[in-house]
């Protein structure tokens, strides 16, 4: 079995292809076995318009059929795609999601025209050579974080990214919904969160040291029906949506809407507005019963909007927990009294108490808390999972303590970081992370034993939007590196130094045509196009190789 195709991510094994094969034409029908309805509907709604074919239901034994079936002898999410000149196409999946991932591979085999919304060559019929593709993912959690708090992404943009994720076999959308710069989800019992908290009067252009401002108001939010639509759309693509509601830091937008949530004995919280710049904000939530009850109400509505269902990670709720300065707590008589009342050693343990409260609250409702690796400070909440962002160390510590981990180290897979050292790179942030760097990223640290490594649920690429003001900038930073990341998350690759990047580049030649058909404004291999540059806007580039720790 040899890999002679141009698939991304690379499958485990391919037998063939041979010259003869199956042709999609007006005779092609679609037969869907039990549990494959989502893939049946997706194929008919996506491939049908692209190929100008109706793909009507047909008999299982037709030689012109595409057959979908769940086969529980396969691994979960695994699939086997068989193409035969005499027996049509069959996709077997170890579960409904496996069938869907096989359909994504079928789309790639049909060529870039299959990624368009209408036929560009009417009357053309598309053939696939005889072959068998056997495949299964390496990691269960294959995620993408979209930060819609710093710069709002309208609903249609989120739906578009769900389609892009599905095309790359990614299955977790981490939706960063709240921060100092905006609150993006409607909470009916607390309407000011969106009335006040979803809009800021202006926005810093570039890094926080930049002297430039965009003086236009910026904002927006998702109604509860918008959220329901996003979650349902994701579920139809076998993607879990994990909401993030940040506590106790990154909360100035909430405090601007409801000043009683802040540390009112050390600052006039009524004077705060939604933050218009970037960085670590000193205005954090007060550790009071008022704050706890308020956020319990928020989370009650969040749980209703993000139900724990059959999707793999739908029960997770992200509470942030990162970058929470303790200065106000140190100066607050109320916070110090709460620390003493609880018998805590200091502010780190006070944050751990805060996180622990919501860990228990969520667990009592059948949910799991996940937070950034700062939740390790002062003691990790029992049952909590960790997003390891400050490098590998937090994830290593959590896994060794028996906690589940998602590896997303800033130095490796923060896609807002620059892609080259050239001066033309728009608003350069952080270390240079090229397409090859991302391809050689390894989510499982070698320091972990096999048992400890079993706690690595998977990996995630994060797209923060402080300097990404619209979908074109998000596309530029995300692609093509997300394709490399998807292969790292899905495929059983060798050790980083042994990975065949030249073969990946060869396959990317075909994949760029797919991205073009999808309208993705990716960074071209030769560097940014003139309209992708942002001359004169200050970034924060960091020279040298990133630390690997």
Tokens 């939010």 appear where?
221
CB count within 10 Å of CB 247 equals 27
H runs (alpha helix) in 183-288: 192-195, 224-236, 252-257
Phi, psi angles (nearest 5°) of residue 331: -95, -10
- Per DSSP (E only), the strands in 267-374 are 316-320, 368-372
Tokens 């086969």 appear where?
71
d(CA 391, CA 549): 6
Burial bucket for residue 299 (CB in 10 Å: 0-12, 13-18, 19+) = buried
Provide the 3-class DSSP secondary structure of residue 351: helix
456-463 vs 141-147, strand pairing mode: parallel
Q: Do the Cβ atoms of 200 and 217 come closer than 8 Å?
A: yes
Residues with active-site annotation: 179, 250, 323
* Cα 72-74-79 angle, rounded to 5 deg: 115
- Give the pair of three-digit tokens for residue 254: 């909430």
Q: Do the Cβ atoms of 416 and 429 come closer than 8 Å?
A: yes
Q: Do the Cβ atoms of 327 and 338 come closer than 8 Å?
A: no
Contacts 24+ apart (CB under 8 A), 380-388: 380/352, 381/352, 381/355, 381/356, 382/356, 383/359, 384/355, 384/359, 385/316, 385/457, 387/174, 387/318, 387/460
């Amino acid at each position: 079995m040899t890999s002679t195709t141009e698939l991304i991510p690379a499958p485990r094994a391919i037998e063939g292809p041979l010259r003869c094969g199956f042709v999609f034409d007006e005779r092609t029908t679609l037969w869907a076995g039990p549990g494959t309805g989502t893939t049946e509907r997706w194929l008919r709604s996506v491939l049908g318009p692209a190929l100008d074919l109706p793909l009507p239901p047909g008999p299982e034994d037709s030689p012109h059929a595409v057959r979908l079936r769940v086969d529980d002898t396969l691994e979960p999410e695994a699939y086997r795609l068989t193409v035969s000149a005499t027996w049509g196409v069959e996709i077997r999946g170890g579960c409904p999601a496996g069938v869907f991932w096989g359909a994504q591979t079928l789309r790639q085999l049909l060529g870039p025209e299959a990624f368009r919304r209408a036929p560009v060559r009417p009357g053309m019929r598309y053939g696939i050579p005889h072959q068998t593709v056997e495949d299964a993912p390496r990691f269960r959690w294959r995620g993408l974080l979209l930060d819609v708090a710093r710069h709002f992404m309208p609903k249609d943009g989120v739906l578009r990214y769900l389609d892009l994720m599905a095309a790359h076999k990614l299955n977790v959308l981490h939706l960063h919904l709240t921060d100092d710069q905006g609150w993006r989800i409607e909470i009916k019992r607390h309407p000011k969160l969106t009335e006040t908290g979803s809009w800021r009067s202006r926005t810093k252009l570039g890094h926080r040291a930049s002297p430039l401002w965009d003086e236009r108001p910026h904002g927006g939010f998702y109604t509860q029906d918008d959220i329901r639509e996003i979650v349902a759309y994701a579920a139809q693509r076998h993607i879990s949506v994990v909401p993030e509601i940040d506590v106790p830091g990154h909360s100035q937008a909430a405090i601007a809407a409801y000043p009683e949530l802040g540390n009112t004995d050390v600052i006039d919280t009524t004077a705060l507005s939604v933050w218009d710049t970037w960085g670590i904000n000193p205005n954090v939530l007060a550790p009071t019963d008022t704050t706890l009850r308020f956020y319990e109400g928020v989370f009650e509505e969040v749980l209703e909007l993000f139900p724990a269902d059959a999707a793999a990670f739908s029960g997770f709720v992200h509470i942030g927990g990162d970058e929470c300065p303790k200065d106000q707590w140190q100066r607050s008589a109320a916070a110090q009294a709460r620390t003493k009342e609880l018998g805590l050693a200091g502010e780190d343990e006070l944050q751990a108490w805060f996180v622990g409260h919501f860990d228990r609250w969520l667990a009592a409702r059948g949910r799991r808390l996940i937070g950034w690796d700062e939740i390790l400070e002062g003691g990790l909440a029992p049952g909590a999972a960790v997003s390891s962002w400050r490098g590998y160390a937090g994830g290593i510590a959590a896994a060794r303590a028996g906690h589940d981990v998602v590896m997303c180290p800033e130095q490796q897979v923060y896609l807002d970081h620059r892609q080259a050292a050239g001066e033309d790179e728009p608003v350069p942030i952080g270390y240079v992370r090229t397409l090859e760097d991302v391809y050689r990223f390894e989510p499982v640290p070698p320091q972990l034993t096999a048992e400890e490594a079993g706690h690595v649920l998977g990996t995630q690429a994060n797209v923060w939007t402080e300097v990404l003001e619209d979908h074109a900038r998000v596309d530029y930073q995300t692609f093509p590196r997300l394709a490399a990341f998807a292969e790292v998350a899905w495929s059983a690759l060798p050790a980083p130094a042994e990975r065949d990047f030249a073969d990946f580049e060869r396959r990317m030649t075909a994949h760029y045509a797919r991205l073009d058909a999808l309208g993705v404004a990716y960074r071209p291999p030769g560097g940014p196009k003139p309209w992708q540059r942002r001359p004169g806007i200050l970034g924060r580039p960091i020279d040298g190789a990133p630390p690997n720790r």
